[in-house]
Amino acid sequence: MTETNALPSVGDEVMEGKTRAIVTDVRGGVAWLRRQTGGGEEWPAEEPHKLTVRRTRKEMIAAGDL
């Protein structure tokens, strides 16, 4: 897990602080998130460039998690 200057992509699993989330959309340079456990409301990332990508969508598909 590393912090990057690039925004994560839709479908990536990220950490925002201590919250594990999935990126559901990127609008105007802001990543929108929902809890990884599914459902519930979405929220805009407070600091999109400080999100930590845990696994990309491609990695989750390869692992059979999607």
Q: How many CB atoms lie within 10 A of CB 41?
A: 7
User: Domain spans of the chain?
Assistant: 2-60
Average confidence (pLDDT) over 56-65: 93
Smallest CA-to-CA distance from 29 within 8, 58, 53 is with: 8
Average confidence (pLDDT) over 55-59: 94
Q: How many CB atoms lie within 10 A of CB 58?
A: 12
Distance of CA 2 to the CA centre of its chain: 13
What pLDDT band is residue 5 in, cutting at 50, 70 and 90? low
- Evaluate if residue 41 carries a pLDDT over 90: yes
Q: Report whether 14 contacts 54 (CB < 8 A).
A: yes
Whole-model pTM above 0.85?
Answer: no
Q: Provide the CATH topology of domain 2-60.
A: SH3 type barrels. (2.30.30)
